[in-house]
């Protein structure tokens, strides 16, 4: 997931350079809102060329790409004896989902429709995440993870449906909640991207959107289901007695809806992707209890 986050940040920076055309970065062309504009297609092409080239170059310099022949590595799924209990798999899905969603939103601002923006955003994310996995396959420290590839693809597919369908957007979100783990708060582990003892992955179902209702309570409340792990990193050993996996369910508040209703802003929709802590009533089941 660390590389996925790095990829997201890098490509968001590159977006600024490719967004308004290579010809003149300070001038917005007259046809920017024409979704069939060849200029838009050139932007998307240039965006992917720059981002893909950046991933490969950075991988060669920093991630040990090309140090061995192509090889596979099985990492397992959500079993207790896997490296992170499966939290890293959901991390891949969420990061890919977020990446595809960001790209779709960027392409919408270039003038593409919801459907066309998703049609280009999803493949852009797939190309870049696949480049990372292929690069890992030639790295001594990694290898091609089929599990990561599948979860990347699943996250991108969900983002495509989420971005292209207004009803789906109004009905369900895939979110990450992050409360820094004890080890990270005390400076014993500074890797935010793999702070899985502080992460929780949540599907939030929104009754108001599912029923297409204007009722306040149906729109203000959500139904949650999710998964998370605790105690899997070596830095966690002081704070957790053992490795644990958890299933989660809850009833929560639709923060984006409430913000828009009472302040007039959706905060750029960020809370459709980030779960605000302590805004729900949870029920949690520890899987190790049987």
Give pLDDT tens digits for 54-78: 888 877 877 788 888 888 888 899 9
Asked whether 80 and 288 are in contact (CB, 8 A), the reply is yes
Tokens 């750029």 locate to: 268
**Residues lower than pLDDT 50 in the chain:** 9-33
Q: What is the model's pLDDT at position 100?
A: 93
Cα(104)–Cα(114) distance, rounded to whole angstroms? Answer: 8
Query: What pLDDT, on the 0 to 100 scale, is given for residue 182?
Result: 94
Contact call for residues 197 and 231 (beta carbons, < 8 A): yes
pLDDT (0 to 100) of residue 22: 38
Judged on CB neighbours under 10 Å (0-12, 13-18, 19+), 242 is exposed
Query: Cα separation of 102 and 86, whole Å?
Result: 25
The distance between the two most distant Cα atoms of the chain, rounded to a whole number of Å, is 62
């Amino acid at each position: 997931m660390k590389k996925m986050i790095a990829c997201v940040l890098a490509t968001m920076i590159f977006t600024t350079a490719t967004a308004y055309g290579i010809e003149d970065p300070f001038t917005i062309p007259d046809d920017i809102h024409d979704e069939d504009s060849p200029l838009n297609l050139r932007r998307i092409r240039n965006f992917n060329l720059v981002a893909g080239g950046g991933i490969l170059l950075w991988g060669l310099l920093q991630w040990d790409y090309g140090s061995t022949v192509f090889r596979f590595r099985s990492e397992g799924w959500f079993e207790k004896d896997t490296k992170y209990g499966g939290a890293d798999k959901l991390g891949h899905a969420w990061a890919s989902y977020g990446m595809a969603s960001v790209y779709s939103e960027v392409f919408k601002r270039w003038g593409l429709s919801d459907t066309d923006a998703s049609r280009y955003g999803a493949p852009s994310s797939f190309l870049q995440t696949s480049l990372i996995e292929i690069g890992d396959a030639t790295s001594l420290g990694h290898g091609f993870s089929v599990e990561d590839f599948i979860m990347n693809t699943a996250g991108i597919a969900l983002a495509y449906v989420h971005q292209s369908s207004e009803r789906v957007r109004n009905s369900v979100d895939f979110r990450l909640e992050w409360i820094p783990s004890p080890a990270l708060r005390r400076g014993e582990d500074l890797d935010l991207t793999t702070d899985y003892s502080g992460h929780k992955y949540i599907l939030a179902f929104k009754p108001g959107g599912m029923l297409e209702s204007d009722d306040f309570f149906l729109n203000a409340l959500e139904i949650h289901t999710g998964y998370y792990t605790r105690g899997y990193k070596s830095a966690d050993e002081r704070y957790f007695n053992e490795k644990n996996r958890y299933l989660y369910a809850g009833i929560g508040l639709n923060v984006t809806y409430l913000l828009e209703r009472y302040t007039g802003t959706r905060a750029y929709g960020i809370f459709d992707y980030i779960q605000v802590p302590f805004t729900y009533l949870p029920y949690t089941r520890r899987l190790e209890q049987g």
